[in-house]
Structure 1
Amino acid sequence: MPYTDRRIDLDGRRVAFVDEGPRDGPPLVLLHGAGFDHAELTWRLTVAALRDRHRVIVPDLPGYGDSEAIDGAQDLPGLSQWVPRFLDALGLDRVDLGGVSMGGGMTLWVAIHAPDRVRRIVPVCPYGVMAQAPHHRLAWAAVRAGILPLAYRVAAASPRAARFGLSLSYGDPSRVSCKAVAELRITARQQSQRRSFDAFLGHEMDATSLKSDLRPDLNRITAPTFLIAGRHDRLVPARHVKAARERIADCRFLQLPTGHWPMRERPDLFHPALRRFLR
């Protein structure tokens, strides 16, 4: 059975998702990141850890996994506006909402622009809290030169290259598992055709800045917030996440000894902390 074993039609596009756990109490909706990602890759361990007490819903975001891409701009606002429509399609009014990286930015965006749809939020290493990417001009030049299609092909073809790519998202590369490498290679083959991350970066990055800088609006967030950072995160450095904490009224902050993927690198630390916040 595929991991995302439920399907709905939303805006004329197929959406695949997981929906597990008891139906009483507020649902927890979790959003994955961009690039080499989908629902199972990021959140499989979290669903297994929480489904005994929480209803956990994890979609493949548009253009990832078994979900079809949306029409229009696949930038942060465009993808974030998809979230309330997904909740409507499931008949959900208010939810606990969490996400990592791009999904973390989507979580912040929804909390700012659709505050009535969220009870609590858990942005993890979120996009949207800094003006530039690390080594921004070099990263932009690499994207313009077509590095992403090459990265997809190399990662799909080479376990060693896939492991190296994953190690960039971990604080401790020795924690990269063989299963994670195999999963990433499959995802790389999918994204070499779909190019969803390319579309996102095409809208979100230019030579000098990132388009979606949510910092000026973070003070509009009223939902209780649990910001989680990775001490060794190379993509969203922890200092930016920590600074975002000061802009949100009701906010807890946790820095874990991980990279950009704490729920996979240190589930033994991540899941108990998430449980405590949700309880």
Structure 2
Amino acid sequence: MSKLFYLRTSDDALIAYRLDGPAELPLLVLSNSIGTTLLMWDGQIPALSRHFRVLRYDARGHGASSVPPAPYSLARLGMDVVELLDALGVQRAHFLGLSLGGIVGQWLAVHAPERMERLVLANTSAWLGPARQWDERISEVLQAVDMQGTAATFLGNWFPATWLEGANTQVERFRAMLLATNRHGLAGSFAAVQEADLRPDLASVRLPTLVISGQYDTVTAASHGASIANSIPGARLLTLPAVHLSNVEFPREFEAAVLDFLLAR
């Protein structure tokens, strides 16, 4: 396991991050789904780090990063990435984000395109519904006795029913991440999703973009991925027969698509 480093951001949060792969290779940033840590990418590191210096980090409120008071703005989540690049002395990087990480990637493509090379947006959306539904979700997670119910809901949205029926190592890995997630960090991140509506801005994006969606995703539906791909000029779309965590459910297909796209001349 690579060493854990920490960045102190301009607003005094601590962001935990790891680096894998030779330092001389181009940088690829990995950004996580809400409710997970940088460990969600463990399966991809061997393949990706052969071609890239891989930077993965725990979003604020998650994992080994600090839990600043909620709410978190989408702009602040995006600036955490920019400040990580600044700290590493990297002017431009490739970016791969899944779910909330994909929303952050869209924000970066719109507001900091000069820092991005190629963009992969996986199982994500430009808009996830009316603000009032998020008020209810934020209230529920803050008032719950523990994270058991929240974890069960997330896992039901993330994996095929067959994976949930028996003992599944991957499901248990993600259950542990969810149960260890600070509820205030989760609520703060929900607020960033609540405010996000990138639909009007995507037509301005000029970065080479690959969109990956899950055919059976009930969170960020395949139609959401198609809408993003249709909105960004020249974007490619790949739909895998997955639910939400397509990198976990179909790792080889996911990695092959990402590498084919990022390494293309």
TM-score by length of 2: 0.87
Q: CA deviation at 1:113?
A: 0.6
2:225 pairs with 1:241: yes
Identify the residue that residue 187 of structure 2 maps to in structure 1.
Answer: 198
Contact 1:20 1:57 in 2 (8 A): yes
Identify the residue that residue 265 of structure 1 maps to in structure 2.
Answer: 249
2:38 pairs with 1:39: yes
Q: Which runs of 4+ in 1 moved over 6 A?
A: none
* Change in 2 beyond 3 A, CA 1:148/1:108: same
Q: Which amino acid aligns with 1:37?
A: T
Aligned counterpart in structure 1 of residue 50 of structure 2, from 52, 57, 60: 52
Q: CA deviation at 1:130?
A: 2.9
Identify the residue that residue 148 of structure 2 maps to in structure 1.
Answer: 154
CA RMSD of aligned residues (A): 2.6
Q: Which amino acid aligns with 2:197?
A: D
Which 5+ residue runs of structure 1 have no aligned equivalent? 206-210
Contact 2:128 2:193 in 1 (8 A): no
Identify the residue that residue 83 of structure 1 maps to in structure 2.
Answer: 81
* Change in 2 beyond 3 A, CA 1:167/1:221: same
Identify the residue that residue 8 of structure 1 maps to in structure 2.
Answer: 7
Distance (Å, rounded) in 2 between the aligned partners of 1:145 and 1:7: 30
* Aligned-partner SS, 1:121: strand
Distance (Å, rounded) in 2 between the aligned partners of 1:249 and 1:274: 19
* Change in 2 beyond 3 A, CA 1:14/1:131: closer
Distance (Å, rounded) in 2 between the aligned partners of 1:39 and 1:144: 23
Distance (Å, rounded) in 2 between the aligned partners of 1:230 and 1:85: 31
Contact 2:155 2:175 in 1 (8 A): no
Contact 1:4 1:39 in 2 (8 A): no
Q: Which amino acid aligns with 2:157?
A: L
CA deviation digits over 1:130-158, x for unaligned, max 9? Answer: 3517xx86x547426525653853259xx
Distance (Å, rounded) in 1 between the aligned partners of 2:76 and 2:185: 13
Distance (Å, rounded) in 1 between the aligned partners of 2:93 and 2:79: 15
Identify the residue that residue 111 of structure 1 maps to in structure 2.
Answer: 109
Identity of aligned residues (%): 28
Identify the residue that residue 208 of structure 1 maps to in structure 2.
Answer: none
Distance (Å, rounded) in 1 between the aligned partners of 2:145 and 2:155: 12
Identify the residue that residue 129 of structure 2 maps to in structure 1.
Answer: 132
2:59 pairs with 1:64: no
* Change in 2 beyond 3 A, CA 1:155/1:184: farther
Q: CA deviation at 1:80?
A: 1.2
Which 5+ residue runs of structure 2 have no aligned equivalent? none
Which 10-residue stretch deviates more, 93-102 or 74-83? Answer: 74-83
Contact 1:10 1:89 in 2 (8 A): no
* Change in 2 beyond 3 A, CA 1:70/1:154: closer
* Change in 2 beyond 3 A, CA 1:265/1:216: same
Distance (Å, rounded) in 2 between the aligned partners of 1:57 and 1:184: 20
Contact 1:4 1:16 in 2 (8 A): no
2:179 pairs with 1:189: yes
Number of equivalent positions = 260
